[in-house]
Each structure stands twice: as C-alpha cells, then as structure tokens.
Structure 1
Amino acid sequence: MPSVRSCPQSCHALGVDCFYCVQVSHHPPVSAVYAINRREGFALSATVLAKSKFYGNSTSAILDGRVNLVLLPRGEEYTMTMPYAHCKGILMGTLSMELGGKVTIDCEKTGYSAELEFKLRPFLTIS
C-alpha cells in the first residue's frame, strides 16, 4: 500500500490548491508528486526513481525521472529532467553538497527546448 502525503491547511494560505506525494514503489524506491496552484497558474507532476552511488568519501543521489510543469493560462506543458546531488567529505574533510549533470527542458506546443549543465561546484559547505 503506497503512503500518501497531502498538504496541510497552511498550503492553502499560500495558494496551493492541492499537493500529493506518494511513494508508489519501495523496491525500487519510486515517488510521484502532484501539485496545482490555480492562483499562480501552474500544475506540476513528477515521478522520481532515487538511486545512489557510493565512492568512498563521497556519494551521489541520482534522481531518475521527469517533471511536468503546466502553465495553465497558456496551456503549455514543459517536461524536465533533474540534476543529481553529490556530497563530498562524508567521512573526512569538509562536507559539501553539489548539483551536477544535464537538465533538459522541452515544450512540445511551442517547440522551445533548453539544456542546462550543472558543473560540480559546492553550494552547501559545512566545516
């Protein structure tokens, strides 16, 4: 039975009409997310398969899946991939976290597309 989380009342004050997060599979761990905010004009859905790799003093969390962002007033749907998170210094040294990899963004309706490359640079460092 999947576990379902929905947003508390405080989400409604922010304009979020609906938020659901469901772990649809435990082995492998797959999660699904859905949110809609009519006031801001968007709906978002995602499926994520979390994978990890351990490299001795560092580890990576690979988020394999897709994010679909719909801009409601325009009727445009953008499909995106996700970067991976890389943590260094988990056993010794300075602990830092970085985002890396390529993210693609595509909109079939407009034909727009973009590719972002995240270079591994620390954005969170704990000494």
Structure 2
Amino acid sequence: MKIKKNEFKKIIFYLIVSFIILFGFNNSMAQVESGNTVAVDYWLTVDGKQIDTSEGRGLFEFTVGAGQVIPGFDKAVIGMNVGDEKTVELSGDDAYTAGPLAGKVLNFKIILREIK
C-alpha cells in the first residue's frame, strides 16, 4: 500500500494535534515571571540534612510574587524555564524569627516542572 505525500502530511498533522490534546502543550521556552503560577519539586537541606521535600507529595504550586512562600523562594524561580534546576541558599532569619530554622542557611534544590 502506497501513501500519497499529501495524505502522509495529514496523518502527521493529526498525530501532532492528538499528542497535544492528550498530553498538553507545554511551552518550554517560556520563562517564569512575577504573577505566574508555577509547579516545582524541591528539596530543603539544613546543615547537610534533608528536612523537607515535595517528593512523594506531588508538585508544590504557588503564584510568584504573591507572598505564598518564604522570602527569596519565589525570586529564585524568576527567569527559569520548565525543566531547569537551581540550587539556592536562603537565610532562615528572613523566613523564621524563632524556632529551629532561625539563623540557619536554608539550601533549596528546585526543579521547575510547570508554568501555568
């Protein structure tokens, strides 16, 4: 069976459209800006010990610049593209005035999974 060139192009087009419908279109060239809602995976270590992670709990979502996360965390994702990985150090003093994390250096590994 021979497929004509025009029919082949139609088949490819429909496959691409079907893929986008099934799996969604993710603009991996888009960069995070203030006001975007993003989904990330993160790992938090303090003094070399992991004390928190989104792993196993699903993606962590927040709106950048809306004050939903500790100071500096949302600034860290600005400019990232989907799939980018970044490690940042934040001051525990900026987020916690008392408690075990006050005065500590918070080391976050962040992977940007989605820009919504």
Global fold match (TM > 0.5): no
Q: Tell me which protein shows more helix as a share of its residues.
A: 2
Using structure 1 for the length normalisation, give the TM-score: 0.23
Q: Which has the higher contact order (CA 8 A, sep 6+)?
A: 2
